[in-house]
Structure 1
């Protein structure tokens, strides 16, 4: 039977174990032949360097007899079982043999790269896999060359046969085209992978900007700034904003803004002004009537007491962050300014109920009141606010320290008292505001309201808001109002229950007068409703439709085409806007991720 027949017979457990251990009939026969040759050669050197490199050992009779040792001998290659007769090769034959060996090695590499095995016995290929896993014999031991069957000493340069099993002597290894003494190639160092997602979020400026240079020059020569002449109120305000951007306002350069003739003073970032500097502000500007300080966290009782005596004409004060001022100092200030018309503070945790009582009793002509982020806010505050009815036009009681501090009924009663005179109302962040407040508070008691902010009031519903705007005009006529209230600014952001019905009703009611609309977070509003904004609000200037999922390029195109006065559109989180989103000169569109 031909050896290329793939027929396999049953194998015993012993034969399977011997094959897995690398012991086959061929290796046994070769070992016996080697022992016989050693006995016939009295002087065997440690290596075969003196042997004839062109001779190939002739197979012995034992190899032929061993063919019948077991049926597993079918797994061996035919070329391993039968070797050519011992003869000396010519140079041409030797070159031809080397070329053949190289060609065979290339075919094997190509087959490995393409995952395509050579035409060979598949079972034999598996045998090569487990035979190749045998450990290399220790250095200094004797091993038999699988090609010339000569014994040699194993060194660190000994190479395994290709195909395995076994090892080659140095001469046979060179004859096969491999150089055992070749140094391994030094692996090239891989360049560290750069993160393609890294985004440069800042721009390093090597040279200072012109604005910063001007600020530095003015700060350095602040004592001689009068030589510049009359800077003008507009330029002075722009300079104050530039200082605020860089947080460069200090007690030294703040004197640039001081003048005994000043009646209005605005500082957009007073972080670096300490209490003595804030007291000096009052001394050098005694005729102030309007004062605004942002980020005035270093203000304390000493500053308020200085203002109580140094600013007798003060009528409107707006402060952001007066954390350190205590209740007695506030009360002293209110008593010393009975003509106060505007008191607007944000984040003053020590402002309590007694301060509110003194304010309402001392400043009876108060027209503007803002108590935003007041930690001690409660329904008791509203009782004193009601005493300001008839004069109060601007009211903001937003984001109390406790969101549920103001009840819905207390706010309805407040609207019944101060609602007829209000033009601006901000109750954002009061989670107890419901549809009932719209119907029983705003609709019945407000007739001049033009600006309304009810953001983050989650109890409002789409149907309730829609019905409120649809029936507001009829309720005003039934109440005998001379004019129907129309809104110019509306902020109903962060109310996720509001949708298309509320927006459509709002546009029908106040669309022609609206200049500022904020519907941030109305995720369910439809595309048709968003496109109708341009049709109903031609005088719109600012629109915030962030996180409205149906907003797309067509909505923006309708806005910039039909709203001639539009200045700003915010579209953060609107993922349907593409890189083809239309643009227009002097119209700022924020939040287009594709661009």
Structure 2
């Protein structure tokens, strides 16, 4: 580097910052000398002591000058070191110009006073240095890293410039994510920052943004919240302390089912507290979550509820053959049983149960992989004459032979008493012909039919099975039957005059159905329909959807998920009715404040709109109606 030609080499960011701010060795030394001079004058006595010999005075002055010059030069260099190693690239000529001639008053101050004044000045200078470094106390050795980083931001070099890492001394490019070295001075490259545990990309905690008045007024939920009743509060209190069996004693019989539901929400029902629900006077017992009940607990259930006629156990996966045989023996009066998940019960135990209960009228099971054809044969043989409700849902071995065996309920001069039949969700779909034959023998008295997910049955099942052989159906569930067509379903409901209007209809996940089917359904069952599921009818139009307000006014539960044309205006028609003006093609074109409306589904309690992305926060609602699935913005 040539100083004569005013040619300088590369300098650090800190050096550039000091030069631009006018901070150099000369200015620091002058400020120091000025402060010391002012302090000496303020502390000196007003009287002027006598002078000594000129030679002695001159010698003393030279000594003090030399001493003051060395001390000043030393303090200046210590001050420069506080700015970091980058300051050593300042001009040497400027750095050496630190000697300051003392004033005449300085030569007359005693040594004791001079030492005391020097300490005060040094303390003042240290305080300034600590202030620049962000240290808040003279005796506090703790350095707040956040303060160090915050103070360093003001002197951070511009992004895109170059700097030397304070740790590895390698040259790197400065970015907005460059972190200050702790302790300073200097900056860290990205690898060194990660090595020291500093997260350059980590965002600081931000204060929560205060909502505006408009945001506070926005409704983000469409579920109606009500104040709890005294009964519900008591039930929650009992459920919370359900393990204190001895303290609770008898909980009564009025709200047993409600308490059982509350316990099932967090699976708090155990073998110990389950005995609160047991009594020899019980005729019905429902446990909505028996996950934590051991096989011995099921045996105890039978012993302490010997007069049961109806039993429902959900999630009873731990019940085995021994426990099931114990129930069969202990509950001789049982006529209705509903089990969810009896995975461990084997065919022998099923057969023993059917043999011991010939008066069984309702047999409802879900997810029993070991229930086979022999079990069904035993059921039909022993209980067929009294059987009124049968559910074989998610039975892996269900096939056409099962349907043929069920047909025996209406053969050989027997009259089938079956009113409830659920054969949904099989592992493999049954044939359409076998299903039609089954309805031929047992369809006359059916009021409930669910054959969902039998994917190979289609329009022929409707025309040749349901149409001629069912006369009293009130609930029909035909979910996920991809072979159904819009034309076939429309024709079926137009011709199904022998059956009264349905109360509950579910045709979800049948994507081929559209306006024709929907209009035929409304013409047939609209006046009585209370629950309707048309989830996934993607091609249904807005106009036909609004007719629910006039043709299906008894609706209580409606599922219109994944239907593209469901909008706020469609829901408005259901809630308040459709406009009387027939000239307007869409409710979107009407002035809602001045248009008279007619109809309306005033009994609606539940509307599901999952996947309807045209439903907004402005969706109309009313008291007593919950809307599920609104895609509210975050």
| TM-score calculated relative to the size of structure 2 | 0.61
Deviation per residue, 1:89-126 (Å, 9 max, x gap): xxxxxxxxxxxx989xxxxxxxxxxxxxxxxxxxxxxx
Question: Partners in 1 of 2:543 and 2:269 — Cα distance?
Answer: 49
Q: Of 522, 540, 545, which aligns to 1:525? A: 540
Q: Map Cα deviations across residues 200-248 of structure 1 (whole Å, 9 max, x no partner).
A: xxxxxxxxx986653243321346513x6xx233x11110001101101
Q: Tell me the equivalent position of 1:566.
A: 604
1:311–1:579 CA distance, 2 compared to 1 (3 A):
same
Distance 1:213 1:444, change over 3 A: same
User: Equivalents in 2 of 1:309, 1:157: separation in Å?
Assistant: 96
1:440 & 1:494 partners in 2: Cα distance?
A: 23
Partner of residue 14, structure 1: none
**Separation (CA, whole Å) in 2 of partners of 1:444 and 1:345:** 29
Question: Contact (CA 8 Å) 2:553, 2:601: kept in 1 or not?
Answer: yes
Corresponding residue for 2:389? 368
Q: 1:395 aligns with which of 388, 404, 421?
A: 421
Aligned partner of 1:259 among 258, 279, 302: 279
Deviations 1:531-581 (A, max 9, x none): 112211111100000111110011111222211211000001101111110
Q: Does 1:384 align with 2:405?
A: yes
Partner of residue 554 from structure 1, selected from 561, 565, 569: 569
CA pair 434-192 structure 1, distance change in 2 beyond 3 A? same
Partner of residue 544, structure 1 = 559
Pairs within 5 Å for 1:169-568: 185=155, 187=179, 192-193=202-203, 213-222=237-246, 225-226=249-250, 231-233=252-254, 235-364=255-384, 365-389=386-410, 390-402=416-428, 404=429, 406-473=430-497, 476=498, 484-561=499-576, 562-568=600-606
Give the distance between the partners of 1:564 and 1:171, measured in 2 at CA.
94
Deviations 1:272-312 (A, max 9, x none): 11111001111111111111000000011112211221111
Q: Which runs of 5+ in 1 are unaligned?
A: 1-45, 58-100, 104-154, 160-167, 175-181, 199-208, 477-483
Q: Residue 496 of structure 2: SS of its match in structure 1? A: helix
Residues 367-417 of structure 1: per-residue CA shift (max 9 Å, x gap): 000000001111001112112232000000001122x2x100000101111
Number of residue pairs aligned between Structure 1 and Structure 2: 414
Q: Deviations over 1:425-444 (max 9, x none)?
A: 00001101110000000001
Question: In 1, Cα distance between the equivalents of 2:335 and 2:383?
Answer: 10
C-alpha distance in structure 1 between counterparts of 2:443 and 2:506, whole Å: 18
Say which one has the larger Rg.
1
Q: Secondary structure at the match of 2:355?
A: helix
Whether the 8 Å CA contact 2:448–2:473 is kept in 1: the answer is yes
Match of 2:311, SS state, is: strand
Change in CA separation of 1:560 and 1:157 when aligned onto 2, cut-off 3 Å: same
Q: Does the 8 Å contact 2:235/2:258 carry over to 1?
A: no
Does structure 2 retain, via aligned residues, the 8 Å contact 1:419–1:446?
Answer: yes
Deviations 1:292-338 (A, max 9, x none): 00000001111221122111111110000000000011001001100
1: CA distance, partners of 2:629 / 2:372: 40
- Partners of 1:468 and 1:458 lie apart in 2 by 16
The SS at the match of 1:549 is coil
Shift of 1:485: 2.4
**1:575 alignment partner in structure 2:** 613
| Aligned positions of 1:145-164 closer than 5 A | none
Contiguous gaps of at least 5 residues in structure 2: 7-18, 22-84, 97-131, 134-151, 157-178, 181-197, 209-232, 411-415, 577-599
2:60 matched to which residue of 1?
none
**Following the alignment from structure 2 to structure 1, what is the Cα–Cα distance between the partners of residues 241 and 347?**
41
Distance across 1 between alignment mates of 2:455 and 2:461: 12
Whole-angstrom CA distance in 2 between matches of 1:502 and 1:451: 17
- For residues 554 and 240 of structure 2, the distance between their equivalents in structure 1, rounded to whole angstroms, comes to 42
TM-score, normalisation: structure 1: 0.65
Given that residues 222 and 256 in structure 1 are in contact (C-alpha distance below 8 angstroms), is that contact kept between their aligned partners in structure 2? no
In structure 2, the partner of 1:590 is 628
Aligned in 2, Cα 1:435/1:171: closer, same or farther, shift over 3 Å?
farther
CA-based RMSD: 3.2
Partners of 1:531 and 1:263 in 2: CA distance? 46
Contact 1:346 1:372 in 2 (8 A): yes
Q: Is the 8 A contact 2:313 2:338 kept in 1?
A: yes
Contact 1:218 1:225 (8 Å CA) reproduced: no
